[in-house]
Amino acid sequence: MIVIIGGSFAGVQAALELRRLNKQQKIVIYEKETYLGYVPNGLNEFLKGKINSLEEAILYDVAELKSKQIDVHLGSECTFVDPAAKELTIVKAGQAELVSYDQLIVAAGSIQRPLALEQGTNLVYQTKTLADAQQTLDKLQGDVSSVAVLGGGIIGIELASALRQFKPELQITILEKFDRLLELAVDEVISSAITEKLQESNIQLHTGIDFESIHEDAQSACIRTNEGSFKTDMIIKAPNLEPNHQILEDAITLDIDGSSIVNRNFQAEDSIYVLGDLLRLTLMPIKEKFYMPLINNSVRTALVAADHISGKKELTFESTKTNVFAAFGMTVVRSGAQKRNERFTSYHINKCNGVYSLPGKDSPQVYVVIFVREDNHQILGIQAASEADISPFANLFSLVIRGKLTVEELATHDFFFHAAYPSKETHCLNEIALDYLYNEEKR
């Protein structure tokens, strides 16, 4: 029997792939929540009016899985793993039972890192789970005139943008510990473009913030920092995530950050596989491991593990860290490494950026940044931002990175052009590659 702990994206995808590869294998999922696969930005989608209830952000249907002979147990939490006995302790409705397994897949996901200063407070909210999102929404729908968002990364700016759409009159403040918005996520060229849009939306941004304490009364909270105090009706924390590794602490070897140590098949022990947000993954262009809690990464690790468990042993996965996010009327696409990753390499990473036009009405502009290995001109990363919807660029960027194209190859790559369709004689990637080569001559 294959037992899967966690019914989010990695766990469900592993079950589906295992069933596709083996019609007879017994597969069981234990999920502590009462649903499968809640998309973590569901609250944002509701605030923007794209869904009518938070429940619409639940991706998987239990009945459909059961129709594929995948046994699903909701409200069932794993509290202990015994690798020697190949047993689990599962608690449901206060009752504990032992469950045996032949192969175990742990896909328990990630959690929002707790902040020491929030202990004992009642006005600090978060958004990751359905219960978190519902509690936050209930508060927002009440008498709230100001919100402080703790964190100016992707989670924070997407949330602030959605809040502005939900309540245009809301006073919104973003407090970020780094010196600029999105410092870990994107290059400063794109960060600056987003910051400008944010300020146009009348959102207050404070960077270089060290949080000291939170003091609150019945209706409001005061956040004390190195840059002074900020009074607000509500605080929503949006810091980075960390592995939800508690049940694995006594079962397998963990890295210093709580991520699981696994082989290339995501196998931690002979009969234990660990997936998704519990891992640090190799960033393909530079062969260095990073914590990258992305749904697409979770799904791909599940495919590899299922392939290996089923005896195929054909699939491998290294991430290009490809994703898309949108805030304040701009869509941002990124894939691969960036300049800040240079400290993990033995070579220099050069950067080239520019503003180009896209095909279509009024020729919308797009900010593009490429990151290039100096010695052999391999393109290691691409980022772009535009007021146009450039989300389809994500797969293109990923293929450029995974294909290890050089700047010379990209400069003359034959992107499609036809006058009857939205296209240009040269693609913006042709243009930035040519700019890189021209600028290199001047370096």
pLDDT reported for residue 241: 87
User: In this structure, how many other beta carbons lie within 10 angstroms of the beta carbon of residue 330?
Assistant: 21
Token pair for residue 74? 């909701």
| CATH match for 114-237 among 3.50.50.60, 1.10.10.10, 1.10.260.40, 1.10.3720.10 | 3.50.50.60
pLDDT reported for residue 443: 53
pLDDT reported for residue 362: 84
The values of phi and psi at residue 174, to 5°, are -105, 125
pLDDT reported for residue 440: 67
**Nearest CA to 186 among 34, 41, 331?**
331
pLDDT reported for residue 266: 98
- Are residues 328 and 409 in contact, defined by beta-carbon separation less than 8 angstroms? no
Token pair for residue 87? 């047993």
Report the CATH architecture of 329-442: 2-Layer Sandwich (3.30)
The owner of tokens 């959102």 is 203
What does the pLDDT look like over 313-355, one tens digit per residue? 999 999 999 999 999 999 999 999 999 999 999 999 999 999 9
What does the pLDDT look like over 150-183, one tens digit per residue? 999 999 999 999 999 999 999 999 999 999 999 9
What does the pLDDT look like over 354-383, one tens digit per residue? 999 998 888 899 999 999 999 999 999 999
User: In this structure, how many other beta carbons lie within 10 angstroms of the beta carbon of residue 273?
Assistant: 28
β-strands 76-82, 70-74: how paired? unpaired
The half-sphere exposure of 29 on its side-chain side, counting CA atoms within 13 A, is 33
Q: Is the dihedral of CA 376, 291, 109, 240 positive or negative?
A: negative
pLDDT reported for residue 189: 95
**Nearest CA to 301 among 282, 322, 329, 286?**
282
Q: Tell me what the mean pLDDT of segment 134-152 comes to.
A: 96
The owner of tokens 């994206």 is 9
Beta bridge partners of 289: 282
pLDDT reported for residue 442: 58
Q: Tell me what the mean pLDDT of segment 51-75 comes to.
A: 96
pLDDT reported for residue 180: 96
**Nearest CA to 341 among 368, 367, 319?**
319
Mean pLDDT of the chain: 94
**Nearest CA to 337 among 277, 375, 287, 377?**
287
| CATH match for 2-37+59-111+241-309 among 3.30.1240.10, 3.30.390.50, 3.20.20.10, 3.50.50.60 | 3.50.50.60
Token pair for residue 308? 């290996």
Domain with CATH 3.30.390.30 in the chain: 329-442
- Three-state helix/strand/coil letters over the chain: CEEEECCCHHHHHHHHHHHHHCCCCCEEEEECCCCCCECCCHHHHHHCCCCCCHHHHECCCHHHHHHCCEEEEECEEEEEEECCCCEEEEEECCEEEEEECCEEEECCCEEECCCHHHCCCCCEECCCCHHHHHHHHHHHCCCCCEEEEECCCHHHHHHHHHHHHHCCCCEEEEECCCCCCCCCCCCHHHHHHHHHHHHHCCCEEECCCCEEEEEECCCCEEEEECCEEEEECEEEECCCEEECCHHHCCCCCECCCCCECCCCCCEEECCEEECHHHCEEEECCCCEEEECCCHHHHHHHHHHHHHHHCCCCCCCCCECCCEEEEECCEEEEEEECCHHHHHHCCCCEEEEEEEEECCCCCCCEEEEEEEEECCCCEEEEEEEEECCCCCCHHHHHHHHHHCCCEHHHHHCCCCCCCCCCCCCCCCHHHHHHHHHHHHHHHC
What does the pLDDT look like over 272-306, one tens digit per residue? 999 999 999 999 999 999 999 999 999 999 999 99
β-strands 76-82, 87-92: how paired? antiparallel
- Of the chain, the end-to-end C-alpha distance in Å amounts to 61
Domain with CATH 3.50.50.60 in the chain: 2-37+59-111+241-309, 114-237
- Are residues 331 and 395 in contact, defined by beta-carbon separation less than 8 angstroms? no
pLDDT reported for residue 218: 74
- Taking the C-alpha atoms of 371, 374, 379 and 380 in order, what is their torsion angle to the nearest 10 degrees? -60
User: In this structure, how many other beta carbons lie within 10 angstroms of the beta carbon of residue 116?
Assistant: 7
**Nearest CA to 396 among 408, 386, 407, 405?**
405
pLDDT reported for residue 185: 96
Categorize the per-residue pLDDT at 85 as very low, low, confident or very high, splitting at 50, 70 and 90: very high
What does the pLDDT look like over 222-275, one tens digit per residue? 999 999 999 999 999 987 789 999 999 999 999 999 999 999 999 999 999 999
By the 10 Å C-beta count (0-12 exposed, 13-18 middle, 19+ buried), 304 is classed as buried
Q: Tell me what the mean pLDDT of segment 388-416 comes to.
A: 96
pLDDT reported for residue 441: 57
User: In this structure, how many other beta carbons lie within 10 angstroms of the beta carbon of residue 253?
Assistant: 10
Categorize the per-residue pLDDT at 219 as very low, low, confident or very high, splitting at 50, 70 and 90: confident
